[in-house]
Amino acid sequence: MPELPEVEGVVRSLQPFVKHKRLEEIEISRTIQLSHENGKEAIIKGMDPDQFANALLHWEIKAVTRKAKYIYFHLTKEGNSALLVNHLGMTGAWFYVKDIHDIREEKFAKHRHVTFLLSDGHYLVYSDIRRFGELRLLENEQSHSPLLQIAPEPFDEKAEEFFIQRSKENKYVNKTIKETIMDGQVVSGCGNIYATEALYRMRILPTKRVKTISIVKRRQLFQAIVNVLLESIEAGGSSISDYRSINGEAGSMQDRLQMYGKKNCPTCGKTVLQKVIAGRNSWYCTSCQK
């Protein structure tokens, strides 16, 4: 699943191409239409596909920003504003192309679900192989309460103290540290890959209970999370499995990962153990991580 660095890469790539472009036509795939007809509401949330397409006509994309793992398309029309929110899910990807056939990877071309014709004649395409992503048209951020519950950006000055205070709450003290730092209401945008890497860098077992970790160590861990996120942003994210930035571009952070998906510990050489924590595979070394 794309995490904060990958989403940041998509936003930075999209912004120069789509800013100040109008949405002139919107096409929804038959797959999504059928999903809604069967009551499953794939990708497009909160309204039926035809309503979604009609509601978006002729809005201008004023800016593209990110909040945690969400992409925000800020829209404007006739003095009004709206917000198109996107979560990439497991396999979501955006393409900005002159021709639909310019989407080179067949798996993304085959699963093209929402296509926007822009005022410059190009297409902005949302593809999603597994259809776990979402597009939600809102009046504003306050219209969807889960967005307001997200922790501060990890790079904000207040984020570390926010993490420390949340980690002291009864809700979290008995949870594993891995589960806690992957909770978007505790740390914003830190998913499985970067939680695994930060814990390895700090030599902390992902199964360790929060209450057994000192406040000093928690602060150091938070800084390790920030550092690994910044490093990944610089590297264009981790292109593992089906993640791509726009137009199929891949990142290189996967080449720098030290623990995620590894068979042997790069420090001691011992076999890496694997365990499911909070529904996600975790890799760790019991020799180096305590």
| 113, containing H or E segment | strand 112-118
Domain boundary among 148, 167, 199: 148
The answer to whether residue 186 scores a pLDDT higher than 90 is yes
pLDDT band, very low/low/confident/very high, at 31 (cuts 50, 70, 90): very high
The answer to the question of residue 61 being in a domain is yes
Task: Output the pLDDT for position 245.
Answer: 65
Same domain, 111 and 170: no
Sign of CA dihedral 6, 44, 91, 279: positive
CATH number, position 239: 1.10.8.50
Whether residue 243 is contained in a domain is answered as: yes
- Residue 255's pLDDT is 85
Is the CB of residue 274 less than 8 Å from the CB of residue 178?
no
> What's the confidence (pLDDT) of residue 243?
61
H or E element at residue 179: helix 177-181
Q: Which of 21, 69, 175, 218 is catalytic?
A: 69
Among 3, 8, 160, 197, which one carries the catalytic annotation?
3
pLDDT band at 38 (very low <50, low <70, confident <90, very high): very high
Residue of 159, 138, 147, 131 lying closest to 69 (CA atoms): 147
pLDDT recorded at residue 235: 87
| Same domain membership, residue 13 and residue 144 | yes
**Same domain (yes/no): 138, 210:** no
Of the three residues 148, 166, 201, the one that is the final residue of a domain is: 148
> pLDDT at position 246, please?
74
- CATH number of the domain that 15 lies in? 3.20.190.10
Same domain? For 76 and 114 the reply is yes
* Domain around 59: 4-148
**Distance separating alpha carbons of residues 82 and 155, to the nearest angstrom:** 26
CB 242 within 8 A of CB 167: no
pLDDT per position as a tens digit, 231-264: 999 888 876 655 666 776 767 788 889 999 999 9
Is 122 in the same domain as 34? Answer: yes
Beta bridge partners of 246: none
Q: What's the domain count of the chain?
A: 2
Domain contains 75:
yes
Q: Are residues 251 and 220 in the same domain?
A: yes
15 domain-assigned = yes
CA distance 285 to 174: 22
Say if residue 175 is in the same domain as residue 143. Answer: no
pLDDT digit string, tens, across residues 52-74: 999 999 999 999 999 999 999 99
- The DSSP call for residue 153 is P
Tell me, yes or no, if 69 is annotated catalytic: yes
**Which of 123, 120, 147 has its CA nearest to residue 134?**
147
pLDDT in tens, 83-111: 999 999 999 999 999 999 999 889 999 99
Based on the fold, state whether residues 125 and 233 are members of the same structural domain: no
160 is catalytic: no
So what's the pLDDT on residue 22? 98
Element (H, E) at 172: helix 170-173
Active site residue 280: yes
Q: Is residue 290 part of a domain?
A: no
Which pLDDT does position 241 carry in this prediction? Answer: 59
Token duo for residue 185: 């209401």
The residue out of 130, 148, 166 marking a domain boundary is 148
Q: Interhelix angle for 215-234 vs 192-201, to 10°?
A: 120
| One domain, residues 70 and 167 | no
The reply to whether 144 and 102 lie within a common domain is yes
Mean pLDDT score, 168-174: 98
